[in-house]
Amino acid sequence: MLTDQKIQNIANQSLLLGDLSDDELAEFCIVANQYYRDGRPIVSDQDYDFVFLAELLKRTPDHFLFNRPEPENEGFSEEKVKLPERMISIDKAYTWGEIQKWLDRVNKASLEINLPSEGIRIKGTAKLDGFAGYDDGNRLYTRGDGNKGSDISRVFERGLSVYNDSARGQGPGEIVVKKSYFESHLSEHFEYPRNFQASLIKEKALDQYASQAIADKAALFVPFSQLPSWSGDIESFSAHFQSIVSELESGVDFDVDGVVFELTNVQLKSHMGSNRKFHRWQIAFKENKDKAQVRVLSVTAQVGRTGKITPVAELEPTQLSGATIYRATGHHYGLVKEQGLGEGSIVELTRSGLVIPKINKVLKSVEVSIPESCPSCQSELTWESDFLMCLNHDDCPDQIIGCMAYFFKILANNDGFGLASIQKLYENNIRKVSDIYQLSHSDLTAMSFGDKTAKNLLNQLARSTQESIEDWRFLAAFGVLRLGMGNCENLLKHKPLGEIFDLSVDDVVNMDGFAEITAKLIIEGLEEIKEEFRVLKAFGFALESTQLISNSANFDHPFFNKQIVFTGKMSHPRADLQKQGKSLGIKVATSVNSKTDFLIIGENVSITKLNTAKEKNVVILKESDYLSIIENNSL
């Protein structure tokens, strides 16, 4: 039996794998899995799969952990009930080579039933990282051991919605929380989405966060059949594998743990069948992310525009997914304080694709000293949970510089106003973006900008007001807390830009998508920027108005307020069609489901997609017909 201390040491990698016996390793995997299922993970999913489980598989491939679905529902007191349908695990592949082996088996099986290889259809969907369940329309069950699970129908009684507002009874799925919502509303209170998901299901009464997330339809049951999918034959699957995977993974606003591929040919599926562990016609692909253990040369504190102090580590140069990494940031100062991130420590660095590398955790810690005063303004720093903050928002140079630079960055229709030039403006007593717009050529040269640079900066300022930008982007550039681009767009769908300063907290709460805490912060933040907003707007930016949801009078075409989906190769860029559609009051979606009204088709549309659309009574129109209807009705 492993002691708690030993489990902790293995989890934080101070006890290395080489020092563990096979039994100890297996026991650790079981314990770590149990914590994960209970919503209190002690290691990351990545580490569990690629470090611990991978090592166990190498040592003891016959271990029972690899022979049964992982139990999900221990911890509930209810009696186990038989599931309406068996839910077994999915075989996993981590490389393209392993996927190819699966394709070989599929090809061999298709030969055995005389199905030509071109006739094999593969369907892919994102693999959600939630809490698995089965909804038979009457009750909701946990997956349990795959045969018997617990009845957790209480989750629906608590008001949980089904994804896409679709019906109950669609079989297997996952209870999940929207990623964007978790980040904006819950990440301060829960470390991982899974910790929060567990609180939705538990037997005791819901806490305020869970009730609110259910009310906001941010916590949902997602039947697999409702997920956006890719489908095609083996040839296009093989040719576009990487882009299919990344499109599916980024196509949903939920945490994703890979992609599931399965065959759709009924005959082939029944011929391939299942073994005790998994269906042979289905496979999950999980990408192995690049990781390295790196020595820290030094750590410096950086002040962000919101006053958050971020640790920036200079690293021993390290190769990671094709690039040499010299520095990386830690998420917050808690890493420094709790984990001893400092000069001489060893950290685990991960990088996936081209994303900026991040320090996940400290493997070997050192004694550190925590800065007591802000490196920019010397005010005393304050802890807000894991975050070290400078609260001197009005006078802290780095925060003021950060806010001004943020404005130009979000506007994104200009060049030249990066941190370096803004820093120089700050040194010359510029404190507000509106001051920058009032500068003349002689002002700039007096600040020791060269003649050419001064001209360029003035041109860029003019360009930023003349090039048209969406009004939500303009509003987001002010950097109000909780008013990122998504929330700005949503806000302006309900209220025109000219009227947002008249909004009350109640008005905002009544809009779809805003909880009360967020609404309060937004109203406070708007009050603070009111004057600067008025002054800046008077410089005459070319703002495109967001289409109001309620504004129906302007549109006299059959697609108004209807949901449409584009599919196939179109004669216009897809993005342009989507933009045009939205501007005409059309709801543009990316996948066909029961809420879809029209499917607009280009060339090379898959039969599967057409059949799905027909089954759901979706009206199918050619792109050219769609465009001529719009032209004849909306002009």
The residues facing 293 across adjacent strands are 348
Contacts of 178 (CB under 8 A, 6+ apart): 218, 219, 220, 253, 254
Of 600, 591, 587, whose CA–CA distance to 628 is shortest? Answer: 600
Nearer to Zn ion, 194 or 305 (CB): 305
Q: Left if phi > 0, otherwise alpha if psi is -120 to 50, otherwise beta: which for 285?
A: beta
Interacting stretch for Zn ion, rule CB under 5 A, among 10-18, 274-282, 369-377, 583-591?
369-377
Tell me the C-alpha distance between 144 and 82, whole Å.
9
Nearer to Zn ion, 321 or 379 (CB): 379
**263 or 390: CB nearest Zn ion:** 390
Residue position matching structure tokens 């911890």: 75
To which residue do tokens 């690629």 refer? 50
Q: Which structure tokens are listed for 268? A: 């082939």
CB of 307 to Zn ion, least distance (A): 7
CA separation for the pair 87, 104 (Å, rounded):
25
Structure-block tokens of residue 176: 């999940």
CB 566 within 8 Å of CB 588? yes
Structure tokens at 468: 């048209």
Token code pair at residue 553: 């009078």
State yes or no: residue 491 binds Zn ion (CB under 5 A): no
| CB-nearer residue toward Zn ion: 251 or 304 | 304
Beta strand 563-567 with 469-470: parallel, antiparallel or unpaired? unpaired
Closer CB to Zn ion, 373 or 561, in the complex:
373
Among 374, 492, 523, 630, binds Zn ion (CB under 5 A): 374
Q: Count CB neighbours of 391 within 10 A.
A: 14
Sign of the torsion angle spanned by Cα atoms 295, 297, 299, 300:
negative
- Name which of residues 391 to 430 contact Zn ion (CB under 5 A): 392, 396
Nearer to Zn ion by Cβ, of 202 and 308: the residue is 308
Return d(Cα 507, Cα 498) in angstroms, integer: 15
Q: How far apart, in Å, are the Cα atoms of 52 and each of 22, 46, 92?
A: 11, 9, 16
Select the span of 69-77, 111-119, 330-338, 370-378 touching Zn ion (CB under 5 A). 370-378
Q: Any idea which residues carry the catalytic annotation?
A: 127
376: contact with Zn ion by CB under 5 A: yes
Residue 390 found at the interface with Zn ion (CB under 5 A)? yes
Minimum CB–partner distance for residue 328 and Zn ion (Å): 23
Cβ 601 to Zn ion, closest distance in Å? 56
- How far apart are the C-alpha atoms of 167 and 112, rounded to whole Å? 39
357 vs 479, which CB is nearer to Zn ion? 479
374 versus 500: smaller Cβ distance to Zn ion? 374
Closer to Zn ion by CB, 302 or 583: give it: 302
Tokens 């360029």 belong to residue: 456
Size of the site for Zn ion (CB under 5 A): 6
The three state secondary structure string of 445-483 is HHCCCCHHHHHHHHHHHHHHHHCCEEHHHHHHCCCCCCC
Pairing of strands 140-142, 131-135: antiparallel
> How is residue 85 annotated by DSSP?
S
Of 402, 395, 394, the closest CA to residue 310 belongs to: 402
> What CA–CA distance (Å, rounded) separates 97 from 74?
36
* Calpha distance 469→449 (Å, rounded): 28
For residue 309, state whether it binds Zn ion (rule: CB under 5 A): no
User: Closer to Zn ion at the Cβ: 130 or 307?
Assistant: 307
The two tokens of residue 381 are 């720093």
The DSSP string of 89-102 is B--EE-SHHHHHHH
602 to each of 574, 611, 612, how far by Cα in Å? 10, 15, 16
> Residue 252 corresponds to which amino acid?
V
Of 282, 253, 239, 203, the closest CA to residue 590 belongs to 253
The smaller minimum CB distance to Zn ion, of residues 377 and 610, is found at 377
**Which residues make beta-bridge pairs with 310?**
302
- CB of 368 vs Zn ion, minimal distance in Å: 20
The conformation of residue 495, written as its DSSP 8-state character, comes to S
Whole-angstrom Cα Rg for the chain: 27
CA separation for the pair 16, 83 (Å, rounded): 40
One residue of 17, 346, 370, 377 binding Zn ion per CB under 5 A = 377
For 226, 384, 423, 438, the CA distances from 529, given in Å and listed in that order, are 42, 24, 21, 18
**Interacting residue ranges for Zn ion, rule: CB under 5 A:** 374, 376-377, 390, 392, 396
